[in-house]
A and B are shown apart, each in its own frame.
Chain A
């Protein structure tokens, strides 16, 4: 058994309780319909087809939002200016999840990173390149978007992020 799969619990002082009657029940939750306004995403999705990134900027506080945001929470105005941002980014924070693979039953390390694009003030969830050891990553690590070959106009056009050298041309 691998070290990752064992669930070793710590001993604590337990107390046994007398059981009362228990009625098992299940609660069928009907399907829900969540509503979103996606009009403000359209210019970005259009630009993604050209492998370019744009973000919107609040005219009140000049913060740049990527992905675009409908309303700025600080100023309560609609961000109406569109600005270009780079496809280089920095790791804002990261964590590793240990999830069991449903088919093989093996525990896999699944890294999750938040990236902050150069020129943007917000961060978004992303993946690192498959070969990267997440334990070698650090906060502020420079990375660059790896585009898929055919862009379809969705956030998944950026397949993953490649780590780059700190003195790379893109950062300058």
Chain B
């Protein structure tokens, strides 16, 4: 029941704050060509189905998959769009996995594509449009427009991340210097990655701490950029994968779990998740995915982790919630070099979302990089051999988590 699925290739477009030389379909095409170039034996006619996704409200172009059908090579083939906010990329990758594992006749090879060209539109308007429907009930309950605009104008994503940061910092007893250390780790890694956006090879902790606050306790230098970019991943069955590449990467477990949204709750009725850094959804998704993949000791069995962390406090938090480190010990691991490129458990060697954030694509770039690290084809390749890696995605109002566990062996526990 359910076929074993393998990843054979992943490709990226160049990421930048303004890709003024291409439009949206051309950007998508760039990633697809980069992905297919790595599998020379595969022609466009061998791809049976397509999954795609982005956040349409961020760019002002609705149904962009119709515009870019020809640029994807998807003409007259099954095409599906998935959009789940920040986890769009993760959901697209999981949908690609489901397509193959379902075992439908004639659907063996699936191309999953996620993209975002944020310079085309206004991301904050897109974010407000997703939040306003829920927030506006507070107006009918007697909270005036001034207070309401304060909630909105503080910015949806940074606003909720700042709450998370205060909670995490008081729980783990860390200072801003620990947050800045994570930023330096990410930006220096990004400098070795050809498609990353913020490449800062000489960044220091002092430089990050010198920038002003955007929202206490997060400073301007700690925030993720807004990028244009695309990512593509190729899923196929295990038999076909062996012909296509030397080291196919088997997908052993996937999970996408939503918890109650923090901070505002639904319909503005407050949230029962009083600690925004508790992240029960992330813990549930890791339990589910690890049990599918037969991982009992994540800290020992996982060799490489890519987590979705636009803000440095989140990177520390996810590593603990996904079972890779004990609670509140993650800042110490950045200090002693466990998470560095040549460390025991390298984390975010592509630079992470903190350096490159094309929102729709970000959550797919995590499993894509994690798969390439197993294949040995990543740009900032870790020196040790990677056997098992994870790619994580986060989105919604602090609540939706996707996770993909990959390995060079077929360790999936269910048949």
A116 within 8 A of B: yes
- A: number of interface residues (CB 8 Å): 63
- Known contacts: A70-B267, A122-B265, A125-B264. The answer to whether A34 contacts B21 by CB under 8 A is no
Chain B 264-293 against A: per-residue CB contact (8 Å), 1 yes, 0 no?
111111111011100000000000000000
A112 within 8 A of B: yes
- Considering the complex, give the chain B residue whose CB is closest to the CB of A68: B269
B18 within 8 A of A: yes
B215 within 8 A of A: yes
Contact status B270-A8, CB under 8 Å? no
State A127–B268 Cα separation when bound (angstroms): 16
Report chain A residues within 8 Å CB of B129: 29
A65 within 8 A of B: yes
Contact status A95-B274, CB under 8 Å? no
Report chain B residues within 8 Å CB of A169: none
Chain A 104-117 against B: per-residue CB contact (8 Å), 1 yes, 0 no?
00000010101010
State A18–B167 Cα separation when bound (angstroms): 45
B246 within 8 A of A: no
- Interface of chain A, main secondary structure: loop
Contact status B143-A155, CB under 8 Å? yes
Contact status A122-B23, CB under 8 Å? no
Report chain B residues within 8 Å CB of A9: 211, 220
State A69–B144 Cα separation when bound (angstroms): 20
State A8–B206 Cα separation when bound (angstroms): 13
State A138–B214 Cα separation when bound (angstroms): 20
Contact status B21-A95, CB under 8 Å? no
Contact status B212-A94, CB under 8 Å? no
- Considering the complex, give the chain A residue whose CB is closest to the CB of B151: A125
Chain A 1-42 against B: per-residue CB contact (8 Å), 1 yes, 0 no?
001111111111111011110100101010010101010010
Contact status B163-A15, CB under 8 Å? no
- Considering the complex, give the chain B residue whose CB is closest to the CB of A116: B274
State A67–B141 Cα separation when bound (angstroms): 10
- Considering the complex, give the chain B residue whose CB is closest to the CB of A14: B16
A97 within 8 A of B: yes
- Considering the complex, give the chain A residue whose CB is closest to the CB of B264: A125
Interface size range of chain B in the complex:
35 or more
- Known contacts: A122-B265, A157-B142. The answer to whether A10 contacts B20 by CB under 8 A is no
- Considering the complex, give the chain B residue whose CB is closest to the CB of A20: B21
Chain B 165-201 against A: per-residue CB contact (8 Å), 1 yes, 0 no?
1110010000000000000000100010000011111
State A73–B216 Cα separation when bound (angstroms): 31
B167 partner, pick from A14, A93, A110, A121, beta carbons under 8 A: A93
- Considering the complex, give the chain A residue whose CB is closest to the CB of B211: A8
- Considering the complex, give the chain A residue whose CB is closest to the CB of B150: A110
Rounded to whole Å, the gap between the CB of B224 and the closest CB of chain A is 13
B409 within 8 A of A: no
- Considering the complex, give the chain B residue whose CB is closest to the CB of A19: B20
Contact status B141-A41, CB under 8 Å? yes
A66 within 8 A of B: yes
Contact status B147-A127, CB under 8 Å? yes
Contact status B140-A36, CB under 8 Å? yes
State A105–B21 Cα separation when bound (angstroms): 36
A59 within 8 A of B: no
Choose, from B131-139, B366-374, B382-390, the stretch at the interface. B131-139
Report chain B residues within 8 Å CB of A69: 265, 267, 269-270
Contact status B150-A93, CB under 8 Å? no
B22 within 8 A of A: yes
Q: Would you mind naming 9 contact pairs between A and B with Cβ atoms under 8 Å apart?
A: A13-B199, A22-B20, A27-B60, A67-B268, A94-B163, A96-B162, A110-B150, A122-B272, A156-B142
Residues in B lying within 8 Å of A, measured CB to CB = 14, 16, 18-23, 60, 129, 132-133, 136-138, 140-144, 147, 150-151, 153-154, 159, 162-163, 165-167, 170, 187, 191, 197-201, 203, 207-208, 210-217, 220-221, 260, 263-272, 274-276
For the complex of A and B, 9 pairs with smallest distance between CB atoms? A154-B142, A95-B162, A96-B216, A122-B270, A17-B21, A97-B154, A13-B199, A124-B270, A69-B269
